[in-house]
Amino acid sequence: MNERILIVEDEPILRANLCEMLTREGYEVQGAGDGESGLRMALDQDFAAVVSDIRLPGMDGMALLKRLAAERPETFVILTTAFASIETAVEALRFGAFDYLIKPVLFEDLTRKLRQLFDYRALRGEVGRLRRDLHTRLGFEGIVGQSEAIRTIFDLIARVAPTRSTVLITGESGTGKELVARALHAHSTLADREFLAINMAALPPDIAEGQLFGHEKGAFTGADRRRDGLLRSVRGGTVFLDEIGELPMACQAKLLRAIEAREVLPVGADRPVPVDFRLITATNQSLDECIRDGRFRKDLYFRLNVFRIDVPPLRARREDIPALVEHFVRSHARNLGRRPQNVSNDAMKRLIEYDYPGNVREMSNIMERATILCAGDVITVDHLPREICGEAAAPTDLRLAFQQFEESHIASVLRLANGARDKAAELLGVDPATLYRKMARHGIE
């Protein structure tokens, strides 16, 4: 179960009994004898729930509830009291208590409330995930296409998703590796649990170990409270480590141990703690080259490469481009509050012929820009970027031609001014505020 609960109760025997009984139920339980120490523990550590008496020496349970609601809103609070009243119950619920129990607390009532609490938390998390994912779902979990390469990926997902095998997804940047990972999770037996995506390239190396595996309070400078770590926090769900080739060497042995022994050693801890997760990783690098360069452990690679899915670049499945174009036109039009436009034959021909070094992600950006520029019902070549149409293909629309010239000229003057915007504004003969607006309009950094 591994849910962590804090009991704040000033009666030592009652506190000890509750801790012992909840521990037997499979929870991780700690106790505090007053409100101040309970607050310190709740702020320093990650507790799923706090069960607190209202009448406590010093800080009472209601004050504790208010502090936790402000500083630890993810922690649920159940209050107990021997002096019940309707007013007290209403006030407790109004300030954010999950529920309210009358003393003497029946153990059956408390465990029932805790089960309801964790069921509610799981349901709330699932509803949030469904809302976030709803707008991207199309075809097989948002993966658009009917080419032979995509049908092969669909087949591989269907075969490995129901298992708990570790999956390695490879492919160039922007090909949709995270969509494949989300499809694997959605079609697995863990679909009702959390999907946690972590981009290793965006995680600073000096904090990666603490973020992934957790740390104790005071384990290093800035560790002002205990943290469970991302691998432990997923609690039986799916962990997706993107750009796994960027995982620091210091963390690779720990990840290998987590995969093989299902336990991690938090930074500053003296004993390992159990973890439960299904691991999916992805990379746009050659891990073989990383191994040869001494940047990646061979034994870890073998543990990650249990089942491999290679996602092809967009230029290798051009037959999927028309369906992707239609998908992105509709998606961006919906987000912009517009009616979907059609794409002219000439524009579609250029889109199919283009090589897309940025793959599907680049196509999405291209179609979003075209949707914004197109004031009518048909996206034409005039609405496509210069790299698709070629330098010689100047737009016939005067307004678009002026916009392209303005963008190019501003960029050139900025380079001449070595990026100094005030100097560039002086050279262009406009005030700096006008230049900033035009830069923002054209997307010039």
Q: Examine the pLDDT at 152 and tell me if it is beyond 70.
A: yes
Which pLDDT belongs to residue 86? Answer: 62
Confidence of residue 12 (pLDDT cuts 50, 70, 90): very high
Q: How far is the CA of 54 from the CAs of 18, 39, 188, 300, 421, in angstroms?
A: 16, 13, 43, 51, 60
pTM of the model: 0.61
Mean pLDDT estimate for the chain: 86
168 contacts 282 by C-beta, under 8 angstroms: yes
Q: Give the tens place of pLDDT for each residue, 319-369.
A: 999 999 999 999 999 988 888 889 998 899 999 999 999 999 999 999 999
Q: What angle do CA 186, 246, 240 make, to 5 degrees?
A: 10
Q: How far is the CA of 228 from the CAs of 7, 45, 126, 211, 234, in angstroms?
A: 19, 8, 21, 8, 10
Amino acid code (one letter) for 181: A
DSSP 431-443: -HHHHHHHHHHHT
Q: Which domains does the chain possess?
A: 4-126 (3.40.50.2300), 149-312 (3.40.50.300), 315-390 (1.10.8.60), 397-445 (1.10.10.60)
Looking at residue 279, the DSSP 8-state letter turns out to be: E
Q: Torsions phi, psi of 59, nearest 5? A: -65, 125
Q: Give the tens place of pLDDT for each residue, 366-421.
A: 999 999 998 888 999 989 998 887 644 445 566 666 776 787 788 878 877 777 88
Structure tokens at 120: 């509610």
Q: Give the tens place of pLDDT for each residue, 75-114.
A: 899 998 877 666 776 777 777 888 888 888 888 889 999 9
Which pLDDT belongs to residue 395? Answer: 55
